Chains A and B, each alone.
Chain A
Amino acid sequence: MRSLWGSFRLQLQIVASDRGYLNEILTNPFFAIIFLGIVRAARRDDLTSFAIVAPVLITLWAMALEISGDIVDSDRGVGVLESVVASPAGFPVAVTGRVLAVTLLSSVAVVETGLVARLGFGVDLAVHHPLVAAATLAATALATAGTALLMAGLFVMARTARTFQNTMNFPVYLLAGVIVPISFLPAWIRPISRVLFLSWSADLLRASLSPGPVADLALRLGAIVGLGVAGAVAGRVALAAVLRRVRALGTLGYQ
């Protein structure tokens, strides 16, 4: 646990010195203005909750992509990867702590989006099911961290996968229905959407902002957490496999 906390604090210090990690936090208000502006221009105030949920999820996902692709490469770049791998705590623990720190940071998107809605568009948002909203955000943060671990493993395992790192934003936003519910997608795509925890998060967050009752809460929260845990387990397996391979080949510190 101490190692996890140590890597968590280390990542916060890295973020403080490397402003590149704040990219996605800077971009959140723009997405909020775009989505709220679209809804306002179309005179569809009934869709305001859709426009508020989307930028939050976009920031969470984009930050997870950023950290998962960068964490190993940056350590390799500054020559500390060997030391981290050789440390008694182990590499997966270090990665987990750092991913958790970034995920927690990205939750500032909730505040950013709320401020844009209130100050920029005069939206007085009513959260009809605050406990559901809080539980969904917590489950989503957990699932984001788990999925980031999976992506970190994959990005290291297949170096060409990093080419696709920047590709995994808009296709995922579309498939996961971060603003447009997946019921608008063709029926054959929807099973793919359901494998993405973001699709469950988006539905549940929107439901938490609506006055109607929230159906199947436990099942939907379970889906978010379950997919996140599955991602974390697969990520640890992938990282362990990568470490075995690079140790055998002696390529751990290669640029």
Chain B
Amino acid sequence: MTAPVQTARVLRYAALSGFSDLRATYTFRTWLFGLFARMVAQVAFFASIGRLLGSDEQVRYLLIGNAVMVAASASLTVAVATQWERGAGTLPLIVACPSSPLVVLMGRSAVFVANGLVTSLGGLFIVAPLFDVALPWGRFPAYFALLLLVTLSSYMAAAFLGALLLGATGGQRTVANVARLVLMTFAGVSVPRDVFPQLVQWLAELLPLTSGLAAIRELLGADPDGAAILSLTGRETVIGLLWLALALVAFKGRADAGRRDGTIVFSNI
């Protein structure tokens, strides 16, 4: 069996087991009124600030930014994956297996990418009519493709954080939360980036989501510029691949170090 085929197979089985975990944790009802409702409320909360500002343009800006953020936010959950595996006692097995542990961990968390996409689209579909925001639904296929790209690039960055925290027995949730808020704050989700100092704006260019969200805003604008969308999409893709490369290097380094010093088998307590 060739390496790519084997990797795809491992990824598939890992994703299926991640999906089973989610089904064991949530029923449809608890998912709907738990995860989904929370995310829709988050989008509505920020969109309502636009009403306070008395500006339809602000309502639209906040609605789109936060609907996309919901998808990116869900994919950041992969940063916590190593903590779950450690808690379940499966981390040493995953690190010891012949396949790349990163492939297994990313596969196990892939369900959160799917969850992020569903909740993000749900948030947009439900909240946009509530706030009288008209969207060009004819451009939905391109919107979905860009949303998927943003979700995956955020997923790659979160995988890097998860890799850095491979040997840690705690703190993953804190890191994931802070990463989520860094994106919410500096990637142009609710606050236009030009409010921040130039240095912060440059650093924000290295974050996932920043360019992809700008491409989405351009796409959903009154007069979209195709060249600008392509350029921003290219930049988001490169940033995502860069984070993936960093995740691969960091994961190998941390797994090797964990084997040497024995921290892989430590429990969370």
Residues of A within 8 A of B (CB): 18-20, 22-23, 26-27, 30-31, 33-35, 37-42, 44, 47, 50, 77-78, 160, 163-164, 166-167, 169-171, 173-174, 179-181, 184
Q: Are A20 and B41 in contact (CB under 8 A)?
A: no
Binds A, one of B156-164, B170-178, B205-213, B236-244: B170-178
Task: Assess the A163–B182 pair: CB atoms within 8 A.
Answer: no
Given contacts A34-B184, A167-B38, A174-B48, contact A23 B53 (CB under 8 A): no
Flag if A37 contacts B190 (CB, 8 Å): yes
Contact B52 A50 (CB under 8 A): yes
**Among B29-37, B137-145, B225-233, B258-266, which stretch is in contact with chain A?**
B29-37
Distance of A246 from chain B, by nearest CB (Å): 23
- Asked whether B23 is an interface residue with its Cβ less than 8 Å from the other chain, the reply is no
Chain B: interface size category: 35 or more
Residue interface mask B160-200, A partner, CB < 8 A = 1: 00000000001101100110011011000011101110000
Can you show 9 pairs from A to B with CB atoms below 8 A apart?
A19-B171, A20-B170, A20-B174, A37-B191, A40-B195, A41-B194, A171-B38, A171-B41, A180-B48
* Residues in B whose Cβ lies below 8 Å from that of A179: 49, 52
B45 sits at the interface (CB 8 A): yes
Contact pick for A167, options B33, B49, B191, CB 8 Å: B33
Within the assembled complex, what's the spacing in Å between the Cα atoms of A27 and B185?
A: 11
- Chain A neighbourhood of B181, CB < 8 A: 27, 30-31
Cβ contact within 8 Å between A171 and B190: no
Asked if A30 and B185 make an inter-chain contact with CB atoms under 8 angstroms apart, the answer reads yes
**Are A42 and B58 neighbours in the complex by a CB distance under 8 Å?**
yes
A171 near B34 with CB under 8 A, answer no
What are the residues of chain A within 8 A of B26 when measuring CB–CB?
Answer: 163
Check if A26 sits within 8 Å of B177, measured CB to CB: yes
B191 touches A170 (CB 8 A): no
Interface pair B38/A166, CB less than 8 Å apart: yes
Task: Determine if B192 and A78 form an interchain contact, defined as CB atoms under 8 angstroms apart.
Answer: no
Interface string of B31-70 (1 = CB under 8 A from A): 0011101100110110011011101001000100000000
Residues of A within 8 A of B37 (CB): 167, 171
Q: Is there contact, CB below 8 Å, between A38 and B190?
A: yes
The smallest beta-carbon distance between B44 and chain A, in angstroms, is 6
Residues of B within 8 A of A163 (CB): 25-26, 30, 34
- The answer to whether A34 touches B170, judged by C-beta atoms less than 8 angstroms apart, is no
Chain A residues whose CB sits within 8 angstroms of the CB of B55 once the complex forms = 42
- Additional A-B contacts beyond A19-B174, A163-B26, A166-B38 (20; CB < 8 A): A22-B174, A23-B177, A30-B178, A34-B191, A35-B49, A37-B196, A38-B49, A38-B191, A41-B191, A41-B192, A160-B30, A163-B25, A163-B34, A164-B34, A170-B38, A170-B41, A170-B44, A174-B41, A179-B52, A184-B51
Known A-B contacts A26-B178, A160-B30, A170-B45; the reply to A38 vs B38 at CB < 8 A is: no
Contact partner of A34 (CB less than 8 A), chosen from B42, B173, B174, B185, is B185
Contact, CB under 8 Å: B49 / A180? yes
> What's the minimum C-beta distance from A69 to chain B, rounded to whole angstroms?
13
B222 proximity list for chain A (CB < 8 A): none
Q: Which residues of A contact B203 (CB under 8 A)?
A: none
B118 to chain A, nearest CB (A): 16
A37 to B192, CA, bound (A): 8
Q: Are A23 and B174 in contact (CB under 8 A)?
A: yes
Collect the chain B residues with CB atoms within 8 Å of residue A27's CB. Answer: 177-178, 181
Query: Please, which residues of chain B bring their CB within 8 A of the CB of A164?
Result: 30, 33-34
Q: Does B269 contact A (CB under 8 A)?
A: yes
Q: Is B48 in contact with A184, judged by CB distance below 8 angstroms?
A: yes
Q: List residues of chain A with CB within 8 A of the CB of B62.
A: 38
B178 touches A34 (CB 8 A): no
Contacts of A184 in B (CB 8 A): 48, 51-52
Q: Roughly how many angstroms separate A35 CA and B181 CA in the complex, as a whole number? A: 12
